[in-house]
Chain A
Amino acid sequence: MSLVSKLKETIICLQAGRVTLPYPHVPATPPAGFRGRPIFNIEKCIGCAGCANNCPAREILVHDICQEIRIIQYVGRRCTYCGRCADVCPEKAITMSPDFENATNDITDMQQRLELFMGTCQRCGRCFKEPTPLEQLMMKGYRLDEVDKERWVYTANAYLDKEPTVRDIEIELD
């Protein structure tokens, strides 16, 4: 009978009580293992670019300016928070943080840029990672305020520009 069903339904409702959560007045913490914004730790990164190779959305870009300098940039626009980059990183340099409140009107808030100095091996001339990137730079005599040297980064950007998907990345020229 319909009235009985309606009463049953009403009782179900009233027993439940109020379930509205007070978010956003009270912050919500996601559980452990939540896949939020990936955080790249430059201290641990060895520049293997495994993350870039496996990103389904092609949001991690790699550019080698020269033998010794590699730029890995996480662009963060189409990132789907799948966590493949964190899966494949051999040094566990990428963690999927619990950040989910990522709305912003400035894309550079999301971008993470790793400028890595690939210390060269004496025998083969290719990459190893030394103590800190800055130390490596200083050891090589790299002066950060040298405009000429900084132009390498801008050239890299122009090269990156050929990628049709990243036309919107701008680095301000003085």
Chain B
Amino acid sequence: MSAHVVLKQITERFTSVIQRTDVPEDGRLFVYVEPQALRELCRYVFRVLDARYVISIGLDDRPISGKFLVAHDFAFDKEHVLCSILSYLSGNPPRVDSISDVVPAANWAEREFRDLVGIEPVGHPYPKRLVLPDGWPDGVHPLRRDYPWDAVPAGYDESRTFDFDDPPEGCVVVPFGPFHPTLDEPAHFRLFVDGETVRGCEYRGFMVHRAIEKLGDSVLTYNEIPMAAERICGICGCVHNVAYAQAVEQAAAVTPPPRARYIRTIMLEIERLHSHLLWVGLGCHILGFDTLFMQCFRIREPIMWIAEKISGNRKTYALCLVGGVRWNITPALRSELMGVLAKLEQEWRPVVDAVAGDRNIQKRTRGVGVADAALVKSAGLIGPVARAAGVDIDARRDHPYAAYGDVEFKVITQEGGDVWSRLLVRALEVFESIRIVRQCLDHLPEGPLQATIQDELPPGRVGLSSVEAPRGESHHFVITGENNRPRRWRVRAPTYQNLQGVPAMIKDQQIADMTISLGSIDPCFSCTDRMEIIDVRSGAHRVYTQSELLQLTRGQTRTP
């Protein structure tokens, strides 16, 4: 009854301001407080009870309650509880005390709900725009219920630019991105460089924000959202697919059958295998070691083939529906998967041994991009980045989901907190994943793949789900709603949190280490930019403005 233990610790001190509490199951706790006590409660939970900060959510609840809602999610890893502290805010524009000064990890989440929902975090240390593009008009908040999903705002000002910080004394600005050969997707790090050393940086991202959350609460129905969710990420799609389904299942008290849970576990671990192998290859490529990059991808390829055989696609498995899974693992596929795992283990072991002794790689990765345990706590870093710093957190063990409660595995940690430790964590986690899949295949229960859901899902219920993606913990927050769709769906991908730690990681390092430091968090972010068109015949050239480019691409139905 660990949720009750945590609840007791909270209610002991804050009885008068708590409006309501909810313990739907052992691992979930929802506490509704009055807005003025929100900050103090969060400080208590983060500092005194030593919880881990997960995400903050803002939403427009005016159609139902006439108010806005702010939720701060925390995770009590040792007590195995996911907790959400919610608060209804009246007034328009709504205001709430910012918690970013006591919980530094909440910096981005508060800026995000400030941009998208219009809830003003009072006292935020850095209230700049985060998500919305530069030209977006002020006062227009897309995630509000009265804003249609396909509207283009009036007053979009194309010439408005972002207000960048000035570089510190003696530093030159080296722009890193949005285009860079190392990054697969656009991200803009404005590095302040003194000689070869990076003294600081400013990050500007969200360049390919696709409004998936808006689609989730306006357009898509419960069973259509998993398809959108798995396209949030180009490598770990299954994670979001499963996390969303689990969040709805928790909210609506739907239990997927055992076989479905095991199959989810198997596919999640297959995804972890391919993601970690990809990362080791990519890390070597960033260091210039293309040979190992090619070998990692060669060893990884059979996993993609078996995933294609099971689910129909190499990466977008389209696995879950609310209440179950869509693909079965037949006995033939089972034996083939066992064969693939055996071959993988046999090939990966020598590579890990070879890399472990390789001083050439170690020279480039030891002591680089260091994130120590203190940074992990204050910035809320998760996944291999945290485990490489010695912080023993893993959502598979701390908040068991799917079939992870039934299998045995070790959580790999290293001391060191640098890129080398992260490489080792990921390389060794491959063996643990193989172990988990083998256990699941051995104990795969018979039965249906999908739970039958007779009635409509009850609206107004809150669901939380944390799933360990290859990059860290992926957390989904769902409020069920009317008309076969949720009222709000918030996704916290692991890179969202890890990116906030990057400026501290690259400070006082060399430029050359910038790419591998960034690459070591295994970032998963995306791009478009202006295009210059040169008319070869006339020799004239002009730069297409963004609106022209948009018109050009939208009107394009038949190419060229």
Residues of A within 8 A of B (CB): 1-2, 4-6, 8-9, 12-13, 16, 19, 30-35, 54-58, 80-84, 87, 96, 105-107, 164, 168
Given that A8-B350, A34-B313 are known contacts, is A2 also in contact with B359, CB under 8 Å in the complex? yes
* B298–A34 CB distance below 8 A: no
Given that A5-B358, A16-B295 are known contacts, is A34 also in contact with B560, CB under 8 Å in the complex? no
* B357–A2 CB distance below 8 A: yes
Cβ-closest 5 pairs across A and B: A35-B312, A56-B224, A2-B359, A168-B557, A8-B354
**Residues on the A chain within 8 Å of B350, using CB:** 8, 12
CA distance A31 to B25 in the complex (A): 42
Distance to closest chain B CB from A168 (angstroms): 4
**Residues on the A chain within 8 Å of B347, using CB:** 12
Closest chain A residue to B292, Cβ basis: A9
CA distance A32 to B308 in the complex (A): 9
With an 8 A cutoff between CB atoms, is B223 at the interface? yes
Distance to closest chain A CB from B336 (angstroms): 10
Closest chain B residue to A80, Cβ basis: B227
CA distance A83 to B150 in the complex (A): 25
* A83–B318 CB distance below 8 A: yes
- Selected from A5, A54, A96, the residue in CB contact (under 8 A) with B355 is A5
How many chain-B residues does the 8 Å CB contact rule pick out? 40
* B558–A107 CB distance below 8 A: yes
CA distance A9 to B294 in the complex (A): 12
Mark each residue of chain B from 328 to 366: 1 if its CB lies under 8 Å from any CB of chain A, else 0. Answer: 000000000000000000010011011111111000000
CA distance A5 to B292 in the complex (A): 12
CA distance A107 to B558 in the complex (A): 6
Given that A16-B295, A31-B305, A81-B313 are known contacts, is A56 also in contact with B359, CB under 8 Å in the complex? no
Closest chain B residue to A19, Cβ basis: B298
- Selected from A12, A16, A82, A106, the residue in CB contact (under 8 A) with B318 is A82
Residues of B within 8 A of A (CB): 150, 219-220, 223-225, 227-228, 231, 291-292, 294-295, 298, 301, 305, 308-313, 316, 318, 326, 347, 350-351, 353-360, 557-560
**Residues on the A chain within 8 Å of B295, using CB:** 9, 12-13, 16
Given that A16-B295, A31-B309 are known contacts, is A2 also in contact with B358, CB under 8 Å in the complex? yes
Distance to closest chain B CB from A130 (angstroms): 32
Given that A5-B355, A16-B298, A31-B305 are known contacts, is A56 also in contact with B291, CB under 8 Å in the complex? no
* A96–B312 CB distance below 8 A: yes
**Residues on the A chain within 8 Å of B312, using CB:** 33-35, 83, 96
**Residues on the B chain within 8 Å of A83, using CB:** 312, 318, 326
**Residues on the B chain within 8 Å of A30, using CB:** 308
**Residues on the A chain within 8 Å of B292, using CB:** 9
In the complex, given contacts A33-B309, A105-B560, what are 19 additional A-B residue pairs having Cβ atoms less than 8 angstroms apart? A2-B360, A5-B354, A6-B358, A9-B354, A9-B355, A12-B347, A12-B351, A13-B295, A19-B301, A31-B305, A33-B310, A56-B228, A80-B316, A81-B313, A83-B312, A83-B318, A83-B326, A84-B318, A96-B312
CA distance A168 to B553 in the complex (A): 13
Closest chain A residue to B355, Cβ basis: A5
A-B CB contact pairs (8 Å), 21 listed: A2-B357, A2-B360, A4-B357, A5-B356, A6-B358, A9-B292, A9-B351, A12-B354, A13-B295, A16-B295, A31-B309, A33-B311, A34-B312, A34-B313, A35-B312, A56-B220, A56-B225, A57-B227, A80-B227, A84-B318, A164-B150
Looking at B150, B225, B305, B357, which has the most chain A CB atoms within 10 Å of its CB? B357
Looking at B223, B309, B355, B557, which has the most chain A CB atoms within 10 Å of its CB? B557
**Residues on the B chain within 8 Å of A54, using CB:** 223-224
Given that A12-B350, A54-B223 are known contacts, is A34 also in contact with B308, CB under 8 Å in the complex? yes
**Residues on the A chain within 8 Å of B294, using CB:** 13
Distance to closest chain A CB from B26 (angstroms): 33
**Residues on the B chain within 8 Å of A6, using CB:** 358, 360
- Selected from B227, B356, B357, the residue in CB contact (under 8 A) with A82 is B227
CA distance A80 to B237 in the complex (A): 13
**Residues on the B chain within 8 Å of A96, using CB:** 312
* B313–A35 CB distance below 8 A: yes
Closest chain A residue to B356, Cβ basis: A5
CA distance A19 to B301 in the complex (A): 10
- Selected from B301, B353, B355, B357, the residue in CB contact (under 8 A) with A1 is B357
CA distance A1 to B359 in the complex (A): 7
CA distance A34 to B308 in the complex (A): 7
**Residues on the B chain within 8 Å of A106, using CB:** 558
CA distance A8 to B316 in the complex (A): 35
CA distance A39 to B217 in the complex (A): 30
CA distance A13 to B351 in the complex (A): 10
**Residues on the B chain within 8 Å of A4, using CB:** 357
* A80–B231 CB distance below 8 A: yes
Closest chain A residue to B333, Cβ basis: A33
Distance to closest chain B CB from A166 (angstroms): 11
- Selected from A2, A8, A31, A84, the residue in CB contact (under 8 A) with B353 is A8
CA distance A13 to B296 in the complex (A): 10
Closest chain B residue to A3, Cβ basis: B359
Distance to closest chain A CB from B556 (angstroms): 9
CA distance A19 to B298 in the complex (A): 8
**Residues on the A chain within 8 Å of B150, using CB:** 164
**Residues on the B chain within 8 Å of A81, using CB:** 313, 316
* B227–A56 CB distance below 8 A: yes
CA distance A2 to B225 in the complex (A): 50
**Residues on the B chain within 8 Å of A107, using CB:** 557-558
Closest chain B residue to A168, Cβ basis: B557
Given that A16-B295, A35-B312, A96-B312 are known contacts, is A84 also in contact with B558, CB under 8 Å in the complex? no
